[in-house]
Structure 1
Amino acid sequence: MSHPSSTNAPADLPLLLGGDVMLGRGIDQILATPSDPILFEGYVRDAREYVRLAERKNGPVPRGVDARYVWGAAREMLADRTRRRILNLENAITTNDTPWPGKGIHYRLNPANIGCLTEITPDCLVLANNHVLDWGRAGLVETLDTLDAAGIASVGAGRDRAEAERPAILSDGHGARLLVFAAGHGDSGVPADWAADESSAGIHYLPILDETAVKRLAGLIDSHRQPGDTVVFSIHWGSNWGYQIPETHRRFAHALVDEANVDLVHGHSSHHPRAFEVHNGRLILYGCGDLINDYEGIGETTPYRSDLALLYRPTVRRGRLERLELDPFAIRRLQLQACSPPDRDWLLGVIDRQAQRFGGRVIDSGAHLTCRWEE
């Protein structure tokens, strides 16, 4: 199917995409203004325990760090304004002390630590996920207010349904637009009652991935699209662990490309990278993995290695993927650090095997990992 909206797009649109950015709990505790460390989890009741777990694994972690610390070796790349940078923010930004009832894990960043995000100032933060309402609707509204005040665009959540479904509209730097839509699906752990409605804050929620949903999203996208726009659809879906891609996800992603004229599908929720696919020239990332988290001292993350992260740097031309480079990092001492050669080789092997399932290959080109795919 043709993609008429992309015919007037600029020659190249460089993007930078990442998976889950979790700045709460242990990470919030090492920043300049930590939240109350109380947790409501079944096993850990103090967020500082996640710092101690990281220290047992990899050595001392500094406290009261500046806003640059967490990003470490990835900071320059994340702050590169020549690319449109889209990340999934998987925590609330709030001082609210009342957690969502019945939920086992609650992530939050103190608003006083917003400098951790303004240090890189991403072009768009996706909020349609299973943690943004961990501290209630009040916590979500404070998150939205804090990001607005910081000048950081967000998408996928809002003070009502219309705002939650509205795209982030970004300039591509060459006179055309990049539209970012976002939604969360229940199989990632998003509670159904987190859906925004006409009078309540919440997220853009997808109860089922079917043809009806595709038609609704196609209509929503077309209601905002102008000639020359490039469209990214960001979706929080699937389990935290494992490499299997559900067939329902693959059909839905293909339909977004073929029927809703989406140019790139940005999937996340898995704590480790999953396969990617190029379908009709459009990139589908089924699971980008965590970019930053506080899990490095938790043993059950093996054998999937959620301590290894990827940044995805696709370049699209008239909506079609021209090239894709991947940059690996390791989470050590609650900071993104350069991968050791053995870790880089391990991650390369995993993502290359996953890419081969859908006609792709990943090779080490030296400076980056480079992806190839069947035309």
Structure 2
Amino acid sequence: MILIGADFVPTKSNKKFFAEGNAEYLLGEELCKMLQKADYRIFNLEIPLTDKETPINKCGPNLIADTNNVKLYEKIEVDLFTLANNHIMDQGEAGYFSTINVLDNVGIDYLGCGNTLSDACKPKIVEVKGKKIGIYSCVEHEFSIASANSAGANPFDVIESYNHVKNLSNACDYTIVLYHGGKEHYRFPSPNLQKYCRNFIEKGANIVICQHSHCIGCEENYKNGKIIYGQGNFLFDDSDDECWKTGLLIQIKDDFEINYIPVVKCANRIRLADEYEKTQILNQFDARSEMIKSEKFVYDNFSIFASQNIYNYLLWLTGVDNNIVFRVINRIFRYKFSEFFIKKKYSKNQMLKIENMTCCESISELFVQGLKDINK
């Protein structure tokens, strides 16, 4: 039996218990027993383990955890960490090398990251109960990506990633894809995410699990496979947002039947959901899963979500979002001031140029490469 959990991150509120290896406090007795019974345990380590801060230039937080926090992972016998995520390089190559050295020292395997791109894209094949299980991990492009000459995470590529999975599935009895992507706090797939995940199934994956959204999403049975659009966190005490308070542990049984085991956040720790909580979580999960059977719903709902967020994204281009006075005014007007400001700031023609710059493959590639060169 294989257990797959999502983001497993020590934070200021509970790093003391990580360093003590206090699994009973952080996870509860029942969950600890369940993990002990598993044949293979997989989680997402979305933080570098290092005792020295060497933060990279990026937008968003630079996460870091002391190396002694590995004691909890060792205590519960994590077998494999995926490192293909948007935070593994937050402390640069020094933080990355510290992380893999720490994991090597305690015998925890990892994938989805490497000293070069060719290393990072390598999958794992493990044997569980006499079956060959292939595991592939990739991440959407942010600030953690490996290159031909530098360490980092394995990027999702619309050509190469599918070739990797096709080759892997031909060599295995069962293939798992761990895809670190999707929009944070959004419980449904975007139209493109749905296409990407379906294509993984068509190339031979049996299950595709989307992590990164920090919320439980929904599932889709597609052809001969299953897609989970959002697993939620495992243990990541970084927000009081309602969606952060629940997660799913995915159980793959010996006959490859899949079960969902809900967990609930309680302050700075988690526990198994009680029967009432479990029913509520899974009923909502099933309801959302019914909704995405309609392609129109997937498109329309994402369009609404995009329209709610676009003005905040456009604010990034102006730099005014860093102005404290603007932020106070925007909050007073319940963030509607963003829309008013952007419509005054950009003409229709300017907005069309931004659309073209981000949509056209050739222009977008040139634009992104230019930004990378400037930000070096």
TM over 0.5: yes
User: For structure 1, which runs of at least 5 residues remain unmatched after alignment?
Assistant: 1-13, 33-63, 360-375
Q: What is the match of residue 232 of structure 1?
A: 176
After superposition, the Cα gap between the structure-2 partners of 1:152 and 1:27, relative to the gap in structure 1 and judged at 3 Å, is: same
| Aligned partners of 2:169 and 2:205 also within 8 Å | no
Q: What is the match of residue 115 of structure 2?
A: 159
Structure 1 segments (4+ residues) deviating >6 Å: none
- Cα deviation for residue 28 of structure 1 reads 1.7
The answer to whether structure 1 residue 254 and structure 2 residue 216 are counterparts is no
| Aligned partners of 1:218 and 1:261 also within 8 Å | no
Equivalent residue letter for 1:26: S
How far apart, CA to CA, are the structure 2 residues paired with 1:86 and 1:273? 18
Q: What is the match of residue 327 of structure 1?
A: 261
- Measured against aligned partners, the alpha-carbon deviations of 1:195-238 in whole angstroms (never above 9, x if no partner) come to 212331101112x6xxxx1x422332355555443221111001
- Measured against aligned partners, the alpha-carbon deviations of 1:45-66 in whole angstroms (never above 9, x if no partner) come to xxxxxxxxxxxxxxxxxxx673
More strand by proportion, 1 or 2? 1
After superposition, the Cα gap between the structure-2 partners of 1:158 and 1:79, relative to the gap in structure 1 and judged at 3 Å, is: farther
Q: What is the match of residue 139 of structure 2?
A: 184
Q: What is the match of residue 251 of structure 2?
A: 313
How far apart, CA to CA, are the structure 2 residues paired with 1:344 and 1:221? 33
How far apart, CA to CA, are the structure 1 residues paired with 2:272 and 2:253? 23
| Aligned partners of 2:188 and 2:292 also within 8 Å | no
Where relative contact order (Cα < 8 A, 6+ residues apart) is larger, the structure is 1
- Cα deviation for residue 86 of structure 1 reads 1.9
How far apart, CA to CA, are the structure 2 residues paired with 1:315 and 1:278? 17
| Aligned partners of 2:89 and 2:152 also within 8 Å | yes
- Cα deviation for residue 342 of structure 1 reads 4.8
What TM-score comes out, normalization by structure 2 length? Answer: 0.71
How far apart, CA to CA, are the structure 2 residues paired with 1:15 and 1:65? 22
Q: What is the match of residue 280 of structure 1?
A: 223
- Measured against aligned partners, the alpha-carbon deviations of 1:25-72 in whole angstroms (never above 9, x if no partner) come to 33224444xxxxxxxxxxxxxxxxxxxxxxxxxxxxxxx673543222
- Cα deviation for residue 172 of structure 1 reads 1.7
Equivalent residue letter for 1:276: E
How far apart, CA to CA, are the structure 1 residues paired with 2:292 and 2:232? 18
- Measured against aligned partners, the alpha-carbon deviations of 1:301-346 in whole angstroms (never above 9, x if no partner) come to 13x3x112221113375xxxx5332222222132222334553343
| Aligned partners of 2:23 and 2:76 also within 8 Å | no
Q: What is the match of residue 347 of structure 1?
A: 281
| Aligned partners of 1:274 and 1:287 also within 8 Å | yes
The aligned length equals 293
Q: Which moved more, 1:99-108 or 1:274-283?
A: 99-108
User: For structure 2, which runs of at least 5 residues remain unmatched after alignment?
Assistant: 294-376
- Cα deviation for residue 182 of structure 1 reads 0.6
- Measured against aligned partners, the alpha-carbon deviations of 1:224-257 in whole angstroms (never above 9, x if no partner) come to 5554432211110011102231011111111111
After superposition, the Cα gap between the structure-2 partners of 1:65 and 1:196, relative to the gap in structure 1 and judged at 3 Å, is: closer
| Aligned partners of 2:53 and 2:64 also within 8 Å | no
| Aligned partners of 1:182 and 1:233 also within 8 Å | yes
How far apart, CA to CA, are the structure 1 residues paired with 2:25 and 2:115? 32
After superposition, the Cα gap between the structure-2 partners of 1:67 and 1:75, relative to the gap in structure 1 and judged at 3 Å, is: closer
| Aligned partners of 1:89 and 1:126 also within 8 Å | yes
- Cα deviation for residue 76 of structure 1 reads 1.8
Equivalent residue letter for 1:15: I
Q: What is the match of residue 345 of structure 2?
A: none
- Cα deviation for residue 163 of structure 1 reads 1.8
After superposition, the Cα gap between the structure-2 partners of 1:227 and 1:163, relative to the gap in structure 1 and judged at 3 Å, is: closer
Question: 2:51 is matched with which residue: 74, 86, 95?
Answer: 95
Q: What is the match of residue 357 of structure 1?
A: 291
Question: 1:205 is matched with which residue: 155, 162, 179?
Answer: 155
Residues 39-188 of structure 1 mapped to structure 2, 5 A cutoff: 66-72=22-28, 73-82=30-39, 84-174=40-130, 176-186=131-141
Question: 2:15 is matched with which residue: 6, 23, 28?
Answer: 28
- Cα deviation for residue 267 of structure 1 reads 1.0
- Cα deviation for residue 273 of structure 1 reads 0.6
- Give the 3-state SS of the residue equivalent to 1:148 in structure 2: helix
Q: Mark the structure with the bigger radius of gyration.
A: 2
Q: What is the match of residue 55 of structure 1?
A: none
- Measured against aligned partners, the alpha-carbon deviations of 1:154-189 in whole angstroms (never above 9, x if no partner) come to 111112212211112211221x32111111013xxx
Q: What is the match of residue 16 of structure 1?
A: 3
Identity %: 21
Equivalent residue letter for 1:220: H
Q: What is the match of residue 241 of structure 1?
A: 185
- Give the 3-state SS of the residue equivalent to 1:109 in structure 2: coil
| Aligned partners of 1:129 and 1:236 also within 8 Å | yes
- Cα deviation for residue 108 of structure 1 reads 2.3
